[in-house]
Amino acid sequence: MESMREAVLQWSKGQLDFSSGCLLMGILNVTPDSFSDGGQFFDFGRAVEHGLEMVNEGAAILDIGGESTRPGSLPVSSAEQIHRVVPVIEALAERTDVPVSIDTHDIEVARAALHAGASIINDITALADHRMAELAAQEQVPVILMHMQGTPATMQVEPLYTDVVAEVRDFLVERAKRAEGFGIVRERIFIDPGIGFGKTLQHNLLLLKHLDSLVATGYRVLVGSSRKAFIGKITGREKPADRVFGTAATVVMCVAAGASILRVHDVGPTLDVMKVTQAILNA
Ligand code: HH2
């Protein structure tokens, strides 16, 4: 499957070069309450500065979100999300060539973000709203389709699967095919197992262990394991910022399995982990 794809993904507003393997997406949460960095980049100036810092450290994409989706979180209005993210997207689109993705499942927010200069849609509901699929097709931008069981408010109450790997894969392939039906070209579709979204520790571990079965679908795979709670459960590290080394273990596994993009908070250190892993694989 890999060989059938072009190494460089190009679209009208951006490009991503996968020729040396996996790329990093830097997380920029313009929120007061994200699980890891809540409040840190809520201020416009600090958000832009941190975005540029991640580009300097080697981020190939910046993922900007105005709503926390941590377990137990409640929805934020479209107007408030737009108010949070649009100025930051405008400033970053002006100052860097790195493509900006908008982390939202809200059609109004996605429209405003694309208008402001974002050029990728990261949708944790995998285009549950068909207008999002129409928008992506019309604007010809890449989409990230993530798996989630339930909603952020309730998803960690009692996640249940018979075969988590097969169920997540089948869901993502079904949504990816539906996206193609809306006119989004296959190369622009990324699938994401949704680590921590309606999953127990064991579910997360099985999805990471068998990531190759997602890669084998032929769609490019994105993984967001950075600093998440399951790493804290294993290591005993309560503070998300202390989970960087734990995250590094997931990065090695994902790169080895053939993931295309890793969504991370700690771009600089993760790039080193990725480069060394890639060098070993290429030896
Ligand atoms: N995880 C989070 C948010 N968006 N998008 C994708 N595609 N994949 C993920 O795993 C993913 C995501 C949650 O992490 P974070 O943004 O750091 O926290 P919060 O939701 O609390 O803002």
The CA radius of gyration of the chain, in Å to the nearest whole number, is 17
Residue 103 Cβ inside 6 Å of ligand 1? The answer reads yes
Candidates 103, 147, 199, 207: which one to mutate for ligand 1, based on the most atoms within 8 Å of Cβ?
103
Query: In which band, very low, low, confident or very high, does the pLDDT at 153 lie, cut at 50, 70 and 90?
Result: confident
pLDDT (tens digit per residue) in 35-58 = 888 788 889 999 999 999 999 999
For residue 9, pLDDT beyond 90: yes
Residue 123, pLDDT score: 98
Model pLDDT for residues 201-240, shown as the tens digit of each residue: 999 999 999 999 999 999 999 999 999 999 999 999 999 9
pLDDT given at position 50: 98
Atom 11 in ligand 1: residue holding the nearest Cα: 224
State whether the beta carbon of 34 lies less than 6 angstroms from ligand 1. Answer: yes
Band of the pLDDT at 179, cuts 50, 70, 90? very high
99 CA distance to ligand 1 centroid (A)?
A: 18
Q: Closest Cα partner for 241 from 230, 231, 227?
A: 227
The token duo for 105 is 């499942």
Predicted confidence band at 97 (pLDDT cuts at 50, 70, 90)? very high
Note the pLDDT of residue 2: 46
User: What's residue 4's pLDDT?
Assistant: 62
Which of 146, 147, 172 has most ligand 1 atoms within 8 Å of its beta carbon, as the pocket-test mutant? 146
Tokens of 48: 């832009």
pTM: 0.96
What average pLDDT does the structure give for the chain?
95
What is the pLDDT at residue 157?
84
What's the confidence (pLDDT) of residue 72?
86
Q: What residue's CA is closest to ligand 1, atom 8? A: 224
pLDDT at 3: 46
Question: Is 228 assigned a catalytic role?
Answer: yes
Alpha-carbon span 210 to 230, nearest angstrom: 17
List, in order, residues 6 or more apart from 165 with CB less than 8 Å away: 206, 207, 210, 213
Instruction: Measure Cα distances from 165 to 131, 169, 177, 200 in Å.
Output: 28, 6, 18, 13
Q: By C-alpha distance, which of 193, 197, 231 is closest to 211?
A: 193
> Amino acid letter at 178?
R
**What digits encode the pLDDT tens for the residues 238-271?**
999 999 999 999 999 999 999 999 999 999 999 9
Q: Is the pLDDT of residue 174 over 70?
A: yes
Confidence of residue 156 (pLDDT cuts 50, 70, 90): confident
> How far apart are the CA of 180 and the centre of ligand 1, in A?
24
Does the pLDDT value for residue 1 go beyond 80? no
Q: What pairing do the DSSP bridges indicate for beta strands 220-223 and 143-146?
A: unpaired
pLDDT at 168 over 70: yes
